[in-house]
């Protein structure tokens, strides 16, 4: 099928950057990114410095493509109808209630998209799952499409996104691989070919892998689980380093020099965050349990448990330093994003660490260079389940690092460049969750 029009449902961290790069590399294709959230669409269409997603290099791509062959709107039905190819890039959080709560992915948004696609499609469509999803979701999407629309042929492909936030544009330009899963039928293979032809505009052919849908879906969960596992492995060793006096950074360097192991994703930290790692592992755990593979489920679950342990252990380090009592102490939390170069705070270690500090009596000054104040307030209110205390001035969200000057201690959570050489009075203490600061009054992970 010749693709002239693409529709992407979901203008978030995945949909926005991915579609902007496809638009840049495929000027012959019109791309409409649609979202139910009007404010978000307004921001995508608004000033280039205030896009809803902060990613290095994104604004340059948007400036070249927006209103050329890349369009953002809330007009979901019309854009579904005119597209030959539809990407689903909506959020898939972990379920908070019902069967599988706390483990399985909440497919409400994906299912709503499938119902919209079925409702508004008048011609054949290739539907692509881009969101991270549990294995066999494509089957569910197909079921919804077919039972709600009997006149149109739908081909479902899985095309998982491997971009990491903070380097999304670079990752999209130079992907290690592009994975496409589809049915082994004639129409399934043709649909795969249509998507391969899009990526071929800038990705070498050898890097485009094709497989069946389930292998593709599972590859995404497995990739993230393997990456997160490395972080939990080194983080678990960081606890032992602290007890024995070994240096975790040097340990990591020594381990990583073995080319069979490799040096990437071996940096000890206050814990991994982000919308994918924990969610995908919990999905994997749920899937294994479903199939009665309890030992396998437990193996992967431990990766998440160590991550929680690491966040709690780090917060405890701060509490112990003040002899178990943070009442009257003012602590600066440096960084709210889950990693540097993103404005995304989902599952950030900052949320848990500062909750523990706050609930142990500290007052907080929170500073992040990119995460919006509104996002920090929402995270606190929704995840700590407190509302009134924000008014008591025990939590202060500040716009500049300088405004944290009068604090008793500084807790670095995000590896923002500007925290690397911060000028802090020698009498003050730094708890460095990322091992990035060279200040001598410093307590680091694994040291």
| Interacting residues with ligand ADP (CB under 6 A) | 9-15, 35-37, 40, 76, 89-91, 109, 112-113, 131, 275
CB of 211 to ligand ADP, least distance (A): 22
Mapped onto helix, strand or coil, the DSSP state of residue 128 is strand
Give the C-alpha separation, 101 to 161, whole Å: 24
Residue 222's binding partner, choosing from ligand ADP, ligand UDX, none, with beta-carbon cut-off 5 to 8 A by kind?
A: none
CB of 18 to ligand ADP, least distance (A): 9
Give the C-alpha separation, 210 to 186, whole Å: 14
DSSP state of 242: H
Q: Is 254 exposed, middle or buried (0-12, 13-18, 19+ CB in 10 A)?
A: exposed
Residue 14's binding partner, choosing from ligand ADP, ligand UDX, none, with beta-carbon cut-off 5 to 8 A by kind?
A: ligand ADP
Residue 118's binding partner, choosing from ligand ADP, ligand UDX, none, with beta-carbon cut-off 5 to 8 A by kind?
A: none
Give the C-alpha separation, 106 to 95, whole Å: 5
Residues 319-378 that bind ligand UDX (CB under 6 A): 338-339
Give the C-alpha separation, 368 to 398, whole Å: 8
Give the C-alpha separation, 349 to 345, whole Å: 9
Name the active-site residue from 7, 8, 26, 276: 276
Residue 227's binding partner, choosing from ligand ADP, ligand UDX, none, with beta-carbon cut-off 5 to 8 A by kind?
A: ligand UDX
165 interacts with ligand UDX by CB under 6 A: yes
- Residue 245's CB is within 10 A of a number of other CB atoms, namely 7
Joined together, the tokens standing for residue 335 give 């960084």
Residues 144-163 that bind ligand UDX (CB under 6 A): 161-163
Angle at 43 between CA 37 and CA 45, to 5 degrees: 105
CB of 276 to ligand ADP, least distance (A): 8
Residue 276's binding partner, choosing from ligand ADP, ligand UDX, none, with beta-carbon cut-off 5 to 8 A by kind?
A: ligand UDX
DSSP state of 274: S
The nearer residue to ligand ADP, 40 or 125, going by C-beta atoms, is: 40
The nearer residue to ligand ADP, 113 or 208, going by C-beta atoms, is: 113
CA neighbor of 147 nearest in space, from 126, 167, 118:
118
Distances (CA, A) of 19 to 53, 70, 299: 13, 8, 36
The nearer residue to ligand ADP, 6 or 9, going by C-beta atoms, is: 9
224 interacts with ligand UDX by CB under 6 A: yes
The residue count for binding ligand UDX (CB under 6 A) is 19
CB of 427 to ligand UDX, least distance (A): 29
Among 272, 322, 358, 419, the residue binding ligand UDX under the rule CB under 6 A is: 272
Q: Is 276 a catalytic residue?
A: yes
The nearer residue to ligand ADP, 237 or 337, going by C-beta atoms, is: 337
Residues 239-268 that bind ligand UDX (CB under 6 A): 265-267
Q: What is the dihedral of CA 104, 106, 110, 113, to 10 degrees?
A: 160
Residue 309's binding partner, choosing from ligand ADP, ligand UDX, none, with beta-carbon cut-off 5 to 8 A by kind?
A: none
Q: Is the dihedral of CA 296, 309, 131, 55 positive or negative?
A: negative
Residue 333 pairs with which residues in a beta bridge?
A: 366, 411
Residues that bind ligand UDX (CB under 6 A): 161-165, 224, 227, 231, 265-267, 269, 272-274, 276-277, 338-339
Catalytic residues: 276
């Amino acid at each position: 099928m010749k693709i002239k029009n693409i529709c992407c449902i979901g203008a978030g961290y995945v949909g926005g950057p991915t579609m902007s790069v496809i638009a840049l590399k495929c000027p012959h294709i019109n791309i409409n990114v649609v979202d139910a959230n009007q404010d978000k669409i307004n921001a995508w269409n608004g000033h280039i410095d205030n896009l809803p997603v902060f990613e290095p290099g994104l604004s340059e791509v948007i400036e070249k493509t927006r209103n050329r062959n890349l369009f953002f709107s809330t007009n979901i039905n019309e854009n579904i109808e005119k597209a030959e190819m539809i990407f689903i890039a909506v959020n898939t959080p972990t379920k908070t209630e019902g069967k599988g709560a706390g483990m399985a992915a909440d497919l409400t948004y994906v299912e709503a998209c499938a119902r919209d696609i079925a409702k508004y499609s008048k011609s054949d469509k290739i539907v692509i799952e881009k969101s991270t999803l549990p294995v066999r979701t494509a089957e569910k999407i197909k079921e919804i499409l077919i039972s709600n629309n009997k006149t149109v042929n739908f081909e479902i492909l899985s095309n998982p996104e491997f971009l990491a936030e903070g380097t999304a544009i670079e990752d999209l330009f130079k992907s290690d691989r592009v994975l496409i899963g589809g049915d082994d039928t004639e129409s399934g293979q043709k649909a795969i070919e249509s998507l391969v032809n899009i990526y071929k505009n800038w990705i070498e052919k050898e890097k485009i892998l094709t497989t069946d849908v389930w292998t593709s879906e599972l590859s995404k969960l497995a990739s993230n689980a393997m990456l997160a596992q490395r972080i939990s492995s080194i983080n678990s060793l960081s606890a032992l380093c602290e007890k024995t006096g070994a240096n975790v950074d040097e340990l990591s360097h020594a381990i990583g020099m073995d080319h069979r192991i490799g040096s990437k994703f071996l940096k000890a930290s206050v814990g991994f965050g982000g919308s994918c790692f924990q969610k995908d592992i919990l999905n994997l755990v749920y899937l294994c349990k479903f199939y009665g593979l309890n030992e396998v489920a437990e193996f992967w679950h431990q990766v998440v448990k160590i991550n929680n342990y690491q966040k709690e252990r780090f917060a405890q380090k701060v509490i112990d330093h003040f002899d178990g009592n943070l009442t009257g102490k003012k602590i600066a939390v440096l960084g709210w994003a889950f990693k540097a170069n993103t404005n995304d705070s989902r599952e950030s270690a900052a949320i848990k660490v500062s909750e523990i500090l706050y609930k142990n009596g500290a007052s907080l000054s929170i500073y992040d260079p990119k995460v919006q104040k509104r996002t920090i307030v929402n995270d606190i209110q929704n995840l700590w389940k407190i509302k009134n205390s924000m008014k008591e001035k025990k939590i202060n969200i500040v716009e500049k690092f300088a405004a944290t000057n009068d604090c008793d201690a500084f807790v670095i959570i995000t590896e923002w460049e500007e925290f690397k050489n911060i000028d802090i009075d020698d009498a003050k203490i730094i708890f460095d969750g990322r091992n990035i600061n060279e200040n001598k009054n410093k307590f680091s992970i694994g040291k």
